[in-house]
Amino acid sequence: MKNNDNKINSEESTKDKVIKGIKELIPYVLILVIVVVIRTFFVTPVIVSGPSMKPTLKGGEVMLLNKTKDSYDRFDVVVAEASKNGKKEEIIKRVIALPGENIVCEQGIVYVNGIRQDEEYSVGNTYDFEFLQLGDDEYFLMGDNREDSLDSRFFGAFNSEKIKGKANIILFPFGSFGNVDKNDKE
């Protein structure tokens, strides 16, 4: 009988240990679920690669992407999904023209709805492109480094479904920490 009592106590002890272990894991599992939900639906870090957004953004900088925005303003810096030779890639560009607007570049000057755009943030020569009328859900995106950017001049206009979010904050390196504003970085 004593042997059975020890066996029952041993089984209860093992069961208690398992329950205690599960209870200890619950906070870590909750944290993991919260992080996954936040990164999937709200914000996520993005690493800048390539020179197409210089001087605003430099390769290696890490920025925070706001994924909750469903419409974008002129000069917002966004991440969009582009397809090149059947391969999808994410690109970081600036919104130049909005849905329903028209855009053209003549003699290196960009015009939106016939109005010359003041583009203090851009560098390099902008090659000319023909008049384009954007649809109701199309955005025209361009890199700030006009001579070294594959953007709407190459991919065409982007609909809002292809735009993954707006870049809000540069997180790293710490010397670059701050807002990704419309055109104030040097």
- The residue extents of the domains of the chain are 1-41, 48-179
CA distance 124 to 143: 10
pLDDT at 7: 55
15 a catalytic residue: no
Identify the sign of the CA torsion 44, 47, 49, 51: positive
Mean pLDDT of all residues belonging to the chain: 86
List 10, 17, 69, 93, catalytic entry:
93
Q: How would you class 57 by CB atoms within 10 Å of its CB: exposed for 0-12, middle for 13-18, buried for 19 or more?
A: buried
- pLDDT digit string, tens, across residues 109-125: 999 999 999 888 888 88
Overall CATH class of domain 48-179:
mainly beta
In one letter, which amino acid is 105? C
Q: Is the pLDDT of residue 12 over 70?
A: no
| Confidence (pLDDT) at 106 | 94
Phi, psi of 3 (to 5 degrees): -65, -40
Q: What is the pTM of this model?
A: 0.79
20 is catalytic: no
Residue from 52, 122, 149, 152 carrying the catalytic annotation: 52
Of the two residues 35 and 145, the one the predictor is more confident about is 145
